[in-house]
Chain A
Amino acid sequence: MSRLSVELPGLHLKNPVMPASGCFGFGREYSQFFDLDILGAIMIKATTPEPRFGNPTPRVAETSSGMLNAIGLQNPGLEKVISEELAWLSRYDVPIIANVAGSQIDDYVKVASEISKAGNVKALELNISCPNVKEGGIAFGTVPEVAKEVTKAVKEVSSVPVYVKLSPNVSNIVDMAKAVEDGGADGLTMINTLVGMRLDLKTGKPILSNRTGGLSGPAIKPVALRMIYEVSQQVSIPIIGMGGIATAEDVIEFFYAGASAVAVGTANFVDPFVCPTIIEELPKLLDELGFDHISECTGRSWKQNETVTNNRS
């Protein structure tokens, strides 16, 4: 067995590295750079029942060591995602995690029930944390009871395990995590972007047409690590960690915090080869750190036996 392989609900991952939703389209663009088969999985762009054009431009703005985006869930709609994008992806031997979005519970239920039947979709990522759509989206991800309710409804109709993507824009991330675990979530993905803003020096107005956007990139890594550290100790479902990952070292740090797999987001925009590079470098890093298998790293920051060992030494 490969020292990078990971078993998660619905997912047999040859390695724990996958591109994050919204940062990899539906894979086509990146297939010109490398064979998508080398990826652990692919989290495809959010899918809504109907097509969405998204927000007017400007949709991106830069920030220190990060970027703001307000794309607005642009996608061709459920029908085309299944008939064109997922059909195209079926040539690859890579599990797909379909990101499911909507503006009301019925939307999530509709997308989840149909997209989970596609053969290559091995898990769903319930997107209750997009900060860039006015209705729905994040509203589901900031109130624990509502998050639980939508998780439950989706679990009832989904043919594959359901991971819920948590928003960092909450006062208590552990409460959110516990609520969706109660609702039947098979796993968590975290974190989505942090709501932020930039203003134009000359006009004084927001740079993004949506005014606010989601902050991603290396700038949010410490926030993601802290939240995964807190949540992983309080829930018994696995976490796919994300938030500013750009190197193999970042991956190990997320595992230490409590993640069982990771997703790479914004870094794909800077370097289209970042995922293959990380996958190639991970075994060397495990050697350096003295691990046989990557799963030994999960939760090392808080696991009791590690603490005891450290105290003795």
Chain B
Amino acid sequence: MIKKERMKVLNHKELAPSIFELTLQGELVSEMNQPGQFVQVKTTEGTEPLLRRPISISSYNRSENQFTMIYRAEGKGTTLLSQRKEAEAVDILGPLGNGFPVHEAKQGETALLVGGGIGVPPLYQLSQMLVAKGVTVIHVLGFQTKSAIFYEKEFSELGDTYIATVDGSYGTKGFVTTVIDNLEQEFATIFSCGPTPMLRALESGYREKKLFLSLEERMGCGIGACFACVCHTGDDPTGFSYKKVCSDGPVFRAGEVVL
């Protein structure tokens, strides 16, 4: 069930330039039950910016009633959010959307988790849950440059972790696909979140795998009412059928929607 709650800031810190990790506490966490869902954050008490900001949940702990999100302070709203201090309240609507299908990776199998930039965070909860059920995980995480990297250590504790940077300042120079093309390990399933060009590259390059993509789109309401974030479906690419990224996704099976 989706709830609206003023949640308490437990911890708020800058992980990398403009990349913030925010941990909030409240009852709403009890509704979180899958990795890859998101929340809509009201970044100000006033009307500017007016709309909430969709931010993915990077991890949650139901017994402690806490969840963490990692976001980039880029525009007006996220910059305002980045100024919130411990013990202050943040107006949260969530959890929203459908997350990654953990059940698609079976015990003993290997899953590849591919993240690009600010698409990396939701893979963290996913990785923890996969490892907990006995799935071997491999992480391939892409960033612009060395200073933008975050959570390398956290992911490394869960499984093999490969980093790609566009400028080559750390790890493999290039994109996540450069790393994946040279991977020696076998994997059955890919879970991915990141910029659309990255998702397209995965969809065209790894058709034979079980592939799940988490999409990003400008949203209005985040609950499926405003029709801002619709996309065409794979079986009717120019017709009238559609999926809403916010309430039907944000995670889709490859081919389900047109990227």
Judge whether A29 and B50 touch: CB under 8 Å.
Answer: no
Q: A76 interface residue, CB < 8 Å from B?
A: yes
A54 and B2 in contact (CB under 8 A), knowing A30-B225, A69-B220?
Answer: no
CB-CB under 8 A from A23, the residues of chain B are 225-226
Q: B234 interface residue, CB < 8 Å from A?
A: no
Q: Indicate which residue in B48, B219, B225, B229 contacts A25 across the interface (CB closer than 8 Å).
A: B225
Q: Shortest Cβ distance from B240 into chain A, in angstroms? A: 4
Query: B190-228: which have CB < 8 Å to A?
Result: 217-221, 223-228
A67 and B1 in contact (CB under 8 A), knowing A54-B227, A60-B228?
Answer: no
Q: B108 interface residue, CB < 8 Å from A?
A: no
Most chain A beta-carbon neighbours within 10 Å: one of B93, B217, B228, B231: B228
Alpha-carbon distance between A181 and B2 when the two chains are bound, in angstroms = 43
Among A170-178, A224-232, A262-270, the one that faces the other chain is: A262-270
Q: Indicate which residue in B47, B52, B231, B232 contacts A65 across the interface (CB closer than 8 Å).
A: B47
Q: Indicate which residue in B48, B52, B239 contacts A53 across the interface (CB closer than 8 Å).
A: B239
Q: A272 interface residue, CB < 8 Å from B?
A: yes
Alpha-carbon distance between A65 and B46 when the two chains are bound, in angstroms = 8
CB-CB under 8 A from A3, the residues of chain B are none
Judge whether B225 and A57 touch: CB under 8 Å.
Answer: no
Judge whether A271 and B4 touch: CB under 8 Å.
Answer: yes
Contact with A along B235-259 (1 / 0, CB 8 A): 0000110100001000000000000
CB-CB under 8 A from B239, the residues of chain A are 53
Most chain B beta-carbon neighbours within 10 Å: one of A30, A77, A268, A272: A272
CB-CB under 8 A from A66, the residues of chain B are 50
Contact with B along A56-76 (1 / 0, CB 8 A): 011111101111010100101
A33 and B221 in contact (CB under 8 A), knowing A60-B228, A67-B50, A67-B51?
Answer: no
Judge whether B242 and A71 touch: CB under 8 Å.
Answer: no
Judge whether B47 and A218 touch: CB under 8 Å.
Answer: yes
**How extensive is the interface on chain B, given as a class?**
20 to 34
Judge whether A62 and B47 touch: CB under 8 Å.
Answer: no
Q: Indicate which residue in A45, A71, A217 contacts B50 across the interface (CB closer than 8 Å).
A: A217
Residue of A nearest to B218 (CB): A58
Q: Shortest Cβ distance from A200 into chain B, in angstroms? A: 12
Q: B42 interface residue, CB < 8 Å from A?
A: yes
A269 and B226 in contact (CB under 8 A), knowing A57-B218, A60-B220?
Answer: yes
Alpha-carbon distance between A123 and B227 when the two chains are bound, in angstroms = 24
Judge whether B47 and A67 touch: CB under 8 Å.
Answer: no
Query: A58-103: which have CB < 8 Å to B?
Result: 58-62, 64-67, 69, 71, 74, 76-77
A74 and B2 in contact (CB under 8 A), knowing A29-B223, A53-B239?
Answer: no
Query: A159-204: which have CB < 8 Å to B?
Result: none
Q: A206 interface residue, CB < 8 Å from B?
A: no
Q: B32 interface residue, CB < 8 Å from A?
A: no
Residue of A nearest to B221 (CB): A269
Judge whether B240 and A53 touch: CB under 8 Å.
Answer: yes
Residue of B nearest to A63 (CB): B50
Judge whether B42 and A270 touch: CB under 8 Å.
Answer: yes
A74 and B230 in contact (CB under 8 A), knowing A29-B225, A30-B225?
Answer: yes
CB-CB under 8 A from B2, the residues of chain A are 32-33, 272
CB-CB under 8 A from B48, the residues of chain A are 64-65
Residue of B nearest to A271 (CB): B4
Query: A204-256: which have CB < 8 Å to B?
Result: 217-218, 246
Alpha-carbon distance between A266 and B225 when the two chains are bound, in angstroms = 11
Alpha-carbon distance between A246 and B51 when the two chains are bound, in angstroms = 13
Alpha-carbon distance between A33 and B220 when the two chains are bound, in angstroms = 17
Residue of A nearest to B217 (CB): A57
Alpha-carbon distance between A74 and B232 when the two chains are bound, in angstroms = 12
CB-CB under 8 A from B52, the residues of chain A are 269-270
CB-CB under 8 A from A217, the residues of chain B are 47, 50
A29 and B224 in contact (CB under 8 A), knowing A62-B50, A269-B51?
Answer: yes
CB-CB under 8 A from A246, the residues of chain B are 47
Q: Indicate which residue in B224, B226, B231, B247 contacts A60 across the interface (CB closer than 8 Å).
A: B226
A52 and B240 in contact (CB under 8 A), knowing A29-B224, A29-B247, A59-B228?
Answer: yes
Alpha-carbon distance between A130 and B218 when the two chains are bound, in angstroms = 21
Q: Shortest Cβ distance from B135 into chain A, in angstroms? A: 32
CB-CB under 8 A from B219, the residues of chain A are 60
Query: A259-291: which have CB < 8 Å to B?
Result: 266, 268-273
Chain A residues engaging chain B, CB cutoff 8 angstroms: 22-25, 28-30, 32-33, 45, 51-54, 57-62, 64-67, 69, 71, 74, 76-77, 217-218, 246, 266, 268-273
Extra pairs beyond A60-B220, A71-B228, A269-B225 (13, CB < 8 Å): A23-B226, A24-B225, A29-B223, A57-B217, A57-B218, A57-B229, A59-B227, A59-B229, A60-B218, A60-B228, A62-B50, A217-B50, A269-B220
Chain B residues engaging chain A, CB cutoff 8 angstroms: 1-2, 4, 42, 47-52, 93, 217-221, 223-232, 239-240, 242, 247
